[in-house]
């Protein structure tokens, strides 16, 4: 993006010797921007799969006494709640065991 702006500035605003300086600065700025973006991308880990569900809130669809169903991010999951939860209640996911979520009542 920086390089594109530098090219536009060089073409429309700066006279002959300075337009090359602006383009070189744009190339340097673009290299810095790409390096910074790659460093940020390496630090952040994508959260997908089962580990992303732990800690999320879910809505109970079928009463969990102790087994039932919950909806997390629009998906239906089998759930197990030892304390029990009625339909419509909000629960928090504590663990994922296969295709079953362990949940506890929120609050």
19 closest CA partner among 11, 31, 27: 11
Query: pLDDT for 73-82, tens place per residue?
Result: 899 999 999 9
User: For residues 71 and 61, is the Cβ–Cβ distance under 8 A?
Assistant: yes
Does residue 13 have a pLDDT over 90? no
Give the DSSP per-residue string, 20-69.
Answer: HHHHHHHHHHHHHHHHHHHHHHHHSPP--THHHHTT-EEEEEE-BSSEEE
Spatial contact of 64 and 84, defined as CB atoms under 8 Å apart: yes
* Of residues 88 and 4, more confidently modeled: 88
Q: Answer for the pair 91, 62: CB distance below 8 angstroms, yes or no.
A: no
Q: With cut-offs at 50, 70 and 90, classify the pLDDT of residue 46.
A: low
Residue 37: pLDDT over 80: yes
Q: Say if domain 50-105 classifies as CATH 2.40.50.140.
A: yes
Residue 65 preceded by cis peptide, ω within 30: no
| DSSP classification of residue 14 | S
Share of the chain above pLDDT 70, in %: 98
If one counts every other C-beta atom within 10 angstroms of the C-beta of residue 20, the result is 11
pTM above 0.75, yes or no: no
* Res 11 pLDDT > 90: no
């Amino acid at each position: 993006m920086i390089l594109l702006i530098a090219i536009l500035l060089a073409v429309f605003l700066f006279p002959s010797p300075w337009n090359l300086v602006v383009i070189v600065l744009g190339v340097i700025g673009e290299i810095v921007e790409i390096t910074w973006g790659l460093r940020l991308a390496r630090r952040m880990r994508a959260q997908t799969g089962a580990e992303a569900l732990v800690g999320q809130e879910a809505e109970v669809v079928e009463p969990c006494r102790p087994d039932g169903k919950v909806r997390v991010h629009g998906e239906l999951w089998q759930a197990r709640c030892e304390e029990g939860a009625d339909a419509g209640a909000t629960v928090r996911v504590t663990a994922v065991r296969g295709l079953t979520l362990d949940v506890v009542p929120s609050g």
